[in-house]
């Protein structure tokens, strides 16, 4: 069979979509299918495609090439309509596995091809299927109070099992008065409701109420704390690295750049554009101030932007890091630690680095807001007025640069 013998779809896909608007149907697929059968040219096309429908690739090859997302969906509907029109329901005797003899089947016993390909749902009751399809859109709520209550009850059971419950040794005395409580506060309230029949028990409960010590576990020969943890020595994971004389000399006339990219609130979709505009912003600032060198804290994206801007102007740069790999962009790299400190030691190392930099550099320029910016400003506030320049840009700059 040559390509010339194949029928050609008579109209454009967007014209078929326009025709579908004037037809009735529960879905846009049904309306499009009704438009195919409701016009003589497209109906004849469906009839002519019957001998060729199930030859691989033919149904798609005779349709116009889609030019938009809607055209692709309409093309899919036309292809399904071709298959639904060409497919026939076989009537006769068939063998059913597990059943003796043969069964006579009729058209009424079969699912119509139109329904099979997603059309002609008007004469079929799809209410049960629609109900099943809607299950994935069901909403549910979580009872936070019940969840927390269950979690507290579980923790209480664990405390009882490990002999860590605050009322475990007083449990027998409380039960004499019919009191079952999980906390000293509850036990005191129940004891008051019973008329305070035991003053010694009340005094013991008041002592437990104000006791903040950790529970004790009793073993056969000794007692020990039930809960304990090793107290890490502050700064133990900080392994300082020597600053080379070359880097220290470069810092003497450098302008320190520090910032917080997240505090600027720039949408992610314009991150690349904002990066380029920030490079231009820093380049303009460096052109006016013309510092001897630029030191930038490259742990944040703001510092990386400043490094690129300084390099574009031929200004020597120092990439400052708490720890990491040497920078390929900057002239020098200052790594404060051998490896990244752990836990709270990271904040301590950052604070030490800020103090060191503020003592060495010529001036400071910050961009954005954040805790690290505030701490750097507090360190710089110790400088005598007029000795070192301090300047800051807040997060409003991007509103004047078309990023919102």
Matching residue, tokens 């304990």: 228
Q: Are residues 317 and 390 in the same domain?
A: yes
Q: What's the pLDDT score for residue 87?
A: 85
Helix H or strand E encompassing 390: strand 390-393
The Cα–Cα gap between 170 and 211 comes to 15
**Choice among 106-120, 295-309, 339-353, 364-378 with the minimum mean pLDDT:** 106-120
Domain boundary (57, 86, 115) is at: 86
Q: Domains in the chain: how many in total? A: 3
Distances from the Cα of 380 to the Cα of 286, 303, 392, angstroms: 20, 18, 12
pTM given for the model: 0.44
Domain-embedded: residue 97 = no
In a domain, 68, yes or no: yes
Task: Report if residue 232 sits inside a domain.
Answer: no
Residue 132 domain-assigned (yes or no): no
Do 396 and 250 lie in one domain? The reply is yes
Is position 237 within any domain? no
**193 and 323, same domain (yes or no):** no
Q: Is the pLDDT of residue 371 over 60?
A: yes
**Considering the domain boundaries, does residue 138 fall inside one?**
no
Highest mean pLDDT among 147-151, 250-254, 306-310: 306-310
Distance between CA 20 and CA 73 in Å, rounded?
Answer: 13
Give rounded-to-5 percent helix, strand, coil for the chain.
50, 10, 40
Q: Which long-range contacts (CB under 8 A, 24 or more apart) does 68-76 make?
A: 68/14, 70/13, 70/14, 70/17, 71/13, 71/14, 74/13, 74/14, 74/16, 74/17, 74/32, 75/13
Q: Are residues 289 and 395 in the same domain?
A: yes
Domain end residue (candidates: 30, 64, 86):
86
Alpha-carbon span 150 to 144, nearest angstrom: 10
Looking at the fold, whether 348 and 295 belong to one and the same domain comes out as yes
* pLDDT tops 90 at residue 115: no
Per-residue model confidence as pLDDT tens digits over 11-59: 999 898 889 888 888 788 888 999 998 999 999 999 999 888 888 888 8
State whether 380 and 290 are in the same domain: yes
Task: Give the model's pLDDT for residue 306.
Answer: 93
Quick: pLDDT tens for 240-277: 888 999 999 999 889 999 888 888 888 888 888 888 88
* DSSP per residue, 330-359: SSEEEESBSSPPPTTHHHHHHHHHHHHHHH
Instruction: Note down the domain range covering 383.
Output: 245-400
Same domain, 209 and 272: no
Question: Domain containing 296 — which CATH number?
Answer: 3.40.50.450
Please state, in angstroms and as integers, the Cα–Cα distance from residue 47 to each residue in 53, 162, 282, following that order.
10, 80, 69
Q: Are 82 and 49 in contact (CB under 8 A)?
A: yes
Q: Indicate the residue among 67, 86, 105 that finishes a domain.
A: 86
3-state secondary structure 61-102: HCCCCCCCHHHHHHHHHHHHHHHHHHCCCCCEEEECCCCCCE
Q: Are 78 and 11 part of one and the same domain?
A: yes
Query: Looking at the chain, how many residues does it have?
Result: 404
- Cα–Cα distance between 172 and 185 in angstroms, integer? 17
Q: Do 179 and 81 share a structural domain?
A: no
Among residues 359, 356, 354, 365, the alpha carbon closest in space to that of 390 is found at: 365
The three-state (H, E, C) secondary structure of 181-217, written as one string = CCCHHHHHHHHHHCCCCCHHHHHHHHHHHCCCCCCEE
Q: Is the distance from CB of 322 to CB of 299 less than 8 angstroms?
A: yes
**What is the CB-side half-sphere exposure of residue 77 using CA atoms within 13 A?**
26
């Amino acid at each position: 069979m040559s390509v010339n013998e194949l029928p050609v779809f008579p109209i454009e896909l967007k014209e078929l979509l326009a025709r579908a608007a004037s037809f009735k149907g529960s879905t846009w697929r049904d309306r499009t299918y009704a438009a195919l059968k409701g016009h003589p040219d497209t109906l004849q096309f469906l009839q002519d495609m019957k001998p060729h429908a199930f030859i691989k690739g033919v149904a798609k090859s005779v349709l116009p090439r889609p030019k938009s997302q809607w055209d692709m969906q309409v093309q899919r509907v036309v292809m399904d309509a071709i298959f639904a029109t060409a497919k026939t329901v076989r009537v006769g005797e068939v063998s059913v596995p597990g059943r003796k003899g043969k069964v006579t089947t009729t058209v009424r016993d079969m699912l119509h091809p139109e329904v099979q390909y997603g059309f002609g749902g008007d004469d079929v009751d799809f209410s049960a299927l629609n109900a099943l399809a809607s299950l994935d859109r069901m909403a549910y709520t979580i009872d936070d109070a019940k969840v927390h209550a269950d979690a507290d009850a579980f923790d209480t059971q664990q405390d009882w099992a490990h002999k860590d419950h605050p009322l475990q040794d007083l449990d027998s005395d409380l039960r004499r008065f019919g009191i079952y409580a999980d906390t000293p506060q509850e036990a005191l309230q129940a004891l008051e409701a019973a008329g305070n029949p035991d003053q010694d028990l009340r005094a013991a409960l008041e002592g437990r109420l104000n006791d903040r010590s950790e529970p004790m576990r009793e073993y056969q020969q000794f007692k020990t704390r039930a809960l304990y943890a090793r107290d890490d020595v502050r700064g133990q994971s900080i392994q300082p690295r020597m600053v080379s004389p070359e880097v220290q000399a470069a810092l003497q006339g450098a302008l320190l750049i520090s910032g917080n990219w997240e505090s600027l609130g720039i949408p992610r979709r314009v991150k690349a554009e904002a990066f380029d505009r920030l490079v231009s912003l820093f380049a303009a600032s460096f052109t006016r101030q013309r510092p001897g060198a630029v030191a930038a804290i490259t742990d944040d994206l703001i510092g990386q932007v400043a490094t690129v801007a300084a390099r574009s102007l031929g200004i020597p740069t120092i990439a400052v890091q708490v720890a990491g790999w040497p920078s390929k962009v900057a002239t020098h790299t200052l790594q404060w630690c051998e490896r990244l400190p752990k836990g709270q030691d990271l904040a301590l190392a950052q604070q030490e680095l800020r103090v060191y930099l503020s003592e060495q550099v010529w001036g400071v320029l910050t961009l954005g807001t954040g805790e690290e910016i505030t701490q750097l400003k507090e360190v710089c506030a110790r400088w005598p007025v007029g000795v070192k320049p301090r300047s800051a840009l807040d997060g409003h700059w991007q509103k004047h640069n078309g990023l919102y």
